[in-house]
Amino acid sequence: MKLSQTRWQTYKDNPADAEIPSHQLMLRAGLMHKSGAGLYNLLPFGLKVIKKIEKIVREEHDKAGCLEILMTVVTPGELWQESGRWQAMGGEMVKMKDKGGRDLCISPTNEEAVTDIFRRLIKSYKDLPVTYYQINTKFRDEIRPRFGLMRGREFIMKDAYSFHENKACLEKVYFQLYNVYCSILNRIGADYKVVEADAGAMASSDQKTHEFQVLANSGEDLLVYNDGYAANIEKAKTKRILADFDLKGGTPEKIATPNVGKIEEICQLLGVKPHLTLKTLALMGVKGGQARPVLVVLLGDDELNETKIKNLLNADHVLPATEAELESLKCVKGFIGPFGHPQEMHTVFDAAINLDAFYIVGANQKDFHLKNFRPSRDSKNYEVSDLRKTKEGDLALSNNLPIKITRGIEVGHIFQLGDKYTKSMGVTVLDKNGKGVVPLMGCYGIGVTRLAAAVIEQNHDEKGIVWPEAIAPFKVHAVLIGRTEEFRTKALNAYEEIRAHGIEILIDDRDVGPGFKFKDAELLGCPWQLTLGEREFGETGKFKLTNRKTGQATEISPENVAQEIERVTKQ
């Protein structure tokens, strides 16, 4: 492609609202333009990258026997009514009415639509398993769209759905798709971890689900791992190493702590370690619009894992109690304790708490704490559950080894859904005895546009993007520097020869200075830069091929230039 004909434009400055490298670089390198919050138009070079990712995704799914379909982006509300998600989906799903007053939505995901396709086509166990997939636009009205393609509102996803007669078959296909995802990420050259994940509202929490996480400092997810264990922090099962609880204690004793409500301040005032205190959080678990209070008790230096309390309460979400709610519950902010509430409160102690040890807790009275509080003696009607957030240094429950924590970008998520959708939508197939059974489902999503951004997070330097060859807009970015007609013809002939050989090449034939051209080439970040420089050519009779990542340059002969490029780039 000749750059003079592409209308490509780059930008020197980072846009004010672009916080992370991939967002900045995709805009600056002219891969996309913003059209609105969480909305981006892909320009020619950006689209090339997306098409390459799609090709890899498609090839790997086809190889595994998945069937490509294309579902409508707008789906009828009736399907969502059937599954019960018309109400449950919340504000991320954009709903609308057509001119006849019928409900429609812009698909945020497609379990209902694909289940409808399935129930019309498949009647017998003999046609199972089957996996459908599509590469299509999704819309989610995200609470905080940000980071460009990383968390857009409109984005491209590959979503796949598998159907099975039984659990064993689901398990088998689930791991086939797991391997498809690994192959895709390996081909793209991503550095990633597969982690155990929380099923959220997609399935019940005992069904398997894994996330594919590209490792990057800008990642929104925290990953807990060691040799042999990896989980999203939301799901991680770990324990803390702790021995020195206060096991002697005594009788409860109220102590004055004027204006001292924070754990650190209490510890300083009384000269105790934070884990010898308990923090009590007053929260509201909200389900179906109904809010119920709960007291969560943690060791003083632990934090709450919000996913775990949400799952325990089976709530849609969990919020801190408001000032008014605290007042009606007779909880004094900063001094809440897990005992003696006038109204019976649902109380949950974190599993790391030694219930027979003695602690300092809030006294349920302004400016007072209680010493020698012993949960097993002084609290009533409580339950115990693992609710604390995993910390560096914890041991994984599965192998008792210390864990580390790192950041990741979730690019893929796979679930065993079970019969959630097939059951609610009344789907059956005939088993071998001619009896109707409800098929089981798996679903598998990979963010195509998010993946492009995630790859840039891992592959860039101060000059620009450093594309891995598999998804680079072009393999070679040629920079033509020369004024004479004779040299320009020679250079353009070389370009034609390379192109005819099937190597993807972009040539910068614009009428601008060399400095400008090199800067743009580095910003766009194609893996190989070919300098077609008149002066150098005059001195050496050679062109120069430079590796964008390593900076290593090789002189190549203009004879058989395409083969020369192949030889050098294969090394």
C-beta closer to ligand ATP: residue 125 or 155: 155
Judged by beta carbon, residue 329 or residue 411, the one nearer ligand ATP is 411
> Closest by alpha carbon to 532, among 570, 485, 492, 474?
492
- Pick 145 or 300: Cβ nearer ligand ATP: 145
Q: How far is the CB of 305 from ligand ATP (least distance, A)?
A: 16
Roughly how many angstroms between the first and final C-alpha of the chain, as a whole number? 25
- The smaller minimum CB distance to ligand ATP, of residues 157 and 260, is found at 157
Helix axes 485-500 and 561-570, enclosed angle (nearest 10): 60
CA distance 20 to 27: 11
Question: How many Cβ atoms are within 10 Å of 7's Cβ, its own excluded?
Answer: 9
Element (H, E) at 514: helix 514-524
Site string for ligand ATP, 308-347 (x = CB under 6 A): ----------------------------------------
Q: How many residues bind ligand ATP (CB under 6 A)?
A: 16
Q: How many CB atoms lie within 10 A of CB 43?
A: 18
Q: Does 235 bind ligand ATP (CB under 6 A)?
A: no
Tell me the closest approach of the beta carbon of residue 443 to ligand ATP, in angstroms. Answer: 8
Taking CB under 6 A as the criterion, the residue among 141, 142, 303, 367 binding ligand ATP is 142
d(CA 77, CA 313): 29
| Residues in region 150-209 near ligand ATP by CB under 6 A | 151-152, 155, 157
Which of 111, 410, 520, 522 contacts ligand ATP by CB under 6 A?
A: 410
**Which is nearer to ligand ATP, 202 or 345 (by Cβ)?**
202
Stretch that binds ligand ATP, among 40-48, 330-338, 410-418, 532-540 (CB under 6 A): 410-418
**H-helix or E-strand spanning residue 443:** strand 440-447
Rounded Cα distance, 256 and 371, in Å: 10
367 binds ligand ATP (CB under 6 A): no
Give the three-state DSSP class for 316: coil
Q: Nearest-5° angle of CA 74, CA 66, CA 88?
A: 40
Query: Quick check: 85 binds ligand ATP (CB under 6 A)?
Result: no
> How many whole angstroms from its chain centre is CA 202?
15
Q: Which of 71, 411, 491, 532 binds ligand ATP (CB under 6 A)?
A: 411
Q: Which residues pair with 286 in a beta bridge?
A: 291, 317
Nearer to ligand ATP, 50 or 481 (CB): 50
Asked if residues 29 and 45 have their Cβ atoms less than 8 Å apart, the reply is yes
- 527 near ligand ATP, rule: CB under 6 A: no
Is residue 442 at the binding interface for ligand ATP, with CB under 6 A as the rule? no
CA distances in angstroms from 160 to 50, 265, 447, listed in the order given: 18, 52, 12
Q: Looking at 13-21, 422-430, 442-450, 520-528, which segment touches ligand ATP (CB under 6 A)?
A: 442-450
Does position 450 interact with ligand ATP (CB under 6 A)? The reply is yes
The dihedral built from the CA positions of residue 105, 106, 112 and 118, taken in this order, carries a sign that is positive
* Comparison of 218 and 529: residue with beta carbon closer to ligand ATP: 218
How far apart are alpha carbons 77 and 103 in whole angstroms?
A: 5
Closest separation in Å from C-beta 50 to ligand ATP: 12
Site residues for ligand ATP per CB under 6 A: 109, 140, 142, 151-152, 155, 157, 410-413, 445-447, 449-450
